[in-house]
Structure 1
Amino acid sequence: MAELTGPGMSLLPASTNDAYGGMKAAAWGLTVIAAATIIPALLHIGLPDGGAGVIAGLDLTGAERTIISLFAWAGTTQLVWGLMLLAVSLRYRSLVPLALGLLTLERALHTWNMWGPKGSHLAGGHHPPEVWATVGSVPVLLILLAMSLRRA
């Protein structure tokens, strides 16, 4: 498979060794993002309403069990993704550019889904806190991705 290369690091490294040459701040930024992914995941899994009502402020009337289940399912996926990000940021640093690239794509797609045609139908125009964090994370992730591809 051909490697995608940047100014200093490759996005798809030949191996998962510790030969990370990008800026360390990008790897530590990924560690912070991993924690910021794991903590809400645990809330979605552990809170009785998955955080849908008490955090997101969603009206659960009419589909309470479905909404709570969806929040728990999303939290489970979010937990696994967060643990993978943590492993990459602390141990498999040659994968930091790839993880930041995928995370940027994920957050950009979430932003589109939250603010695009699907998000415009939220009840009363209400946007939960995550919506604001997601839209703000895209430029930060792009900066971290650029830092990870730049030779330290």
Structure 2
Amino acid sequence: MAIFPPSTNADYRGAKVSAWFLMLAGVLEFIPGCIHYFLPDGGAGVIGGVDLSTRGDTIVALFAWFGAIQIPFALLLFVIGLRYRTLVPLGLLALITARFLMAYDGWFGKGSGDGHHPPAHYGGPIGILLGIVFLVLALRERRTTN
């Protein structure tokens, strides 16, 4: 068995724009993943404005850990949108779920305690709404022209 089995794109009946959105979401997930993993402070201080004077080493390590999760997730979303479009609804559902959990935590959960909101807290709700729109489009069958 190959790492990349044959493409399923011919069997996909949803909106092509949903697959393109999923690939865009993959790129937009990959960039912060690389920032979190490769920047010396993981973007915590220079982008997120997190105070690293107390337990900064732990915070940076957690950012790198999250980046290590984001990078392969982003690549998977991109490959689904590019080559395995029958999985686009599942990829969008995973994206919506991740964004919902992050947004909930940032605004109402464990991450909401100090009132500070890094850029991802604002982008999360937008990602949820767009993800839902493109999920609906992906689940609707395209009209075929004969």
Q: TM-score, normalised by structure 2?
A: 0.89
Of residues 87, 93, 107 in structure 2, which corresponds to 1:95?
87
What is the SS of the residue equivalent to 2:49? coil
The separation in 2 between residues aligned to 1:137 and 1:38, in whole angstroms, is 15
Cα distance, 1:17 vs structure 2: 2.2
String of CA shifts for 1:80-131, please: whole Å, max 9, x gaps.
1000001101001110001101111111111111111323313xx1100110
Structure 1 residue ranges (4+ consecutive) displaced by more than 2 angstroms after TM superposition: none
- Greater relative contact order: 1 or 2 (C-alpha under 8 angstroms, separation 6 or more)? 1
Matches within 5 A, 1:12-23: 17-18=8-9, 19-23=11-15
String of CA shifts for 1:26-73, please: whole Å, max 9, x gaps.
000011100000011111111000000001111111111000000000
Amino acid at match of 2:71: L
Cα RMSD between the aligned structures?
A: 1.4
Unaligned runs of 5+ in 1: 1-15
Aligned to 1:61: 53
Matches within 5 A, 1:1-152: 17-18=8-9, 19-122=11-114, 125-152=115-142
Unaligned runs of 5+ in 2: 1-6
- Counting aligned pairs with the same residue, the percent is 41
What is the SS of the residue equivalent to 2:101? helix
Q: Determine if contact 2:102/2:124 at 8 Å carries over to the other structure.
A: yes
Aligned residue-pair number: 136
Q: TM-score, normalised by structure 1?
A: 0.86
The separation in 2 between residues aligned to 1:80 and 1:147, in whole angstroms, is 25
Q: Determine if contact 2:23/2:81 at 8 Å carries over to the other structure.
A: yes
Q: Determine if contact 2:105/2:112 at 8 Å carries over to the other structure.
A: no
The separation in 2 between residues aligned to 1:81 and 1:117, in whole angstroms, is 23
The separation in 2 between residues aligned to 1:42 and 1:119, in whole angstroms, is 22
